[in-house]
Structures are given as C-alpha cells and as structure tokens.
Amino acid sequence: MATSPRRLVTIDGGNSTLDCLRHDDGSRLVLDAAAPDAAALGAFLAPDDVAYVCAVTARGLEIVTAQLARRGVPLRLAGRDVPCPLRLDYTTPATLGVDRWVGALAAHERHGRAVVVDCGTATTVNLVEADGTFRGGAVAPGLRAFVAGMGEVTPALPVPDLDARPTLPPRSSQDAVDTGVVLGWCGLVERLVAGMLAAAAGPARVVATGGNAMRLLRHARLRAEHVPDLVHRGLAVLAASDRCAS
C-alpha cells in the first residue's frame, strides 16, 4: 500500500526568531529564538510532517531538533542534509551563513540574477548571478543594532523611534536621532546595493526580505521586490529538489 507524502514544514531559525510555516495550509508559528516555547512548537507539528530547516544559531537548532524527534518528524537541515545547489564563489564557504544562500537560492529561482537584501538582526546584501553562482555579499548591522549601539555609547540621547517619520532638517533631539538612525541605515543599504549591482555581470533584480524590509522600502531610494518569506521559499526549493533526488 502506498503511503501518503509527508506534509512540508519549513523553519527559518534566525538570530531573533524561529519562524515556522506549514505549506499545506499556510499556518505559521513564530517563536522567540532566545527562549522558544517548545510545547507550542510540538503542538504545531504533526507526525506526517517533514521539516526542512535553516538555522543560524545552535540554541534554536537544539530546540527544533528535540521537538522534531519527539513528534517523529524527519529533519532535513539545509547545508548538512541538503547541500547548497548554488556554485559558491566564496573564499570561506564553511563560515557562510546558510540563511544567506537559501535566500539567494529562492531569489535566483524566481529572477535569475538578483541582489538579495535581508533586513534582519544583521543586514546582508548578497549577489547571485544568472547562472546560479553565489558571488558573496556584505554583512552589516541591522537597524536595531544601530539603536543598541547608540544606546551603548551615547546614553544621553533619546531612544530612536523606528516608526517615526524622518524629517529634514530635524529640529529636535528626538527627530534628530529618529532621522539619523533610519535614514542612515537606509543609506548604508543603498550604498551596498549599488556596489553589488555594479559588480553583477548584468542587470539584476533587487529583492528585500526580513523584519525591517518594509521600513527600508518606505524610506530608502531603492526599487526592490518585497518577499517576506524568501527563506521559506528557498527551503521549499530545496525540499522539491531533495525529493526528486531521492
């Protein structure tokens, strides 16, 4: 008797969150990566699932692995169980964050040549060529890292409001830090994207993802496609190719 195919769950384990997505019904569970609710994750999973996971921290992976084993859900870890299908033009591939190439894989599947901007805890700007070569990219502070850094070294200044509307010229201390942090971060991203586009072998699509992507698109002078679930899409591409190969 033929068995029913397992249902796909993808887990994007970042520095701040564990973002879990069911691909059969679109349901989602987002947990704090520092202190994930193991019981909630266990309840989210079902024995007929298969989980493809991208994890950048050992703690998040430890919790995920334990709950998958408890529920009898097979784990396929990107970079360990499923290798990167892109050609890596990268000097130190062993230290390349798996989330960077998984996002690049999804962007390449959709657009071919692309510059991928991930606005997460860190800001990464990566280039993948039309032939599927991952050319590398920059890693810079995320927007909240700017806020944390300001608080650490200039504690007398107001705490920046990341949802405030930037004003030019700012005419109060609060407006000054709000505008400086948000537009300064946007300027950093614009400069990195411009450099990646200049380094690309031809015209490239800019794709933005991550928790601060909407802030970037709201305030930066960039034309980019917003793909919130880029890592989940990349994991789904890996899952499809993995099933075909097996």
Residues labelled as active-site residues: 99
DSSP-derived letter for residue 246 is: -
Cis previous bond, 169, omega within 30 = yes
| Those residues with Cβ within 8 angstroms of residue 124's Cβ, 6 or more apart along the chain or in another chain | 97, 100, 116, 117, 118, 137, 138, 139, 140
Q: Using an 8 Å Cβ cutoff, are 126 and 98 in contact?
A: no
Q: Using an 8 Å Cβ cutoff, are 32 and 17 in contact?
A: yes
Q: Are strands 49-55 and 75-77 parallel, antiparallel or unpaired?
A: parallel
DSSP-derived letter for residue 46 is: -
Q: What are phi and psi of 8, to 5 degrees?
A: -80, 130
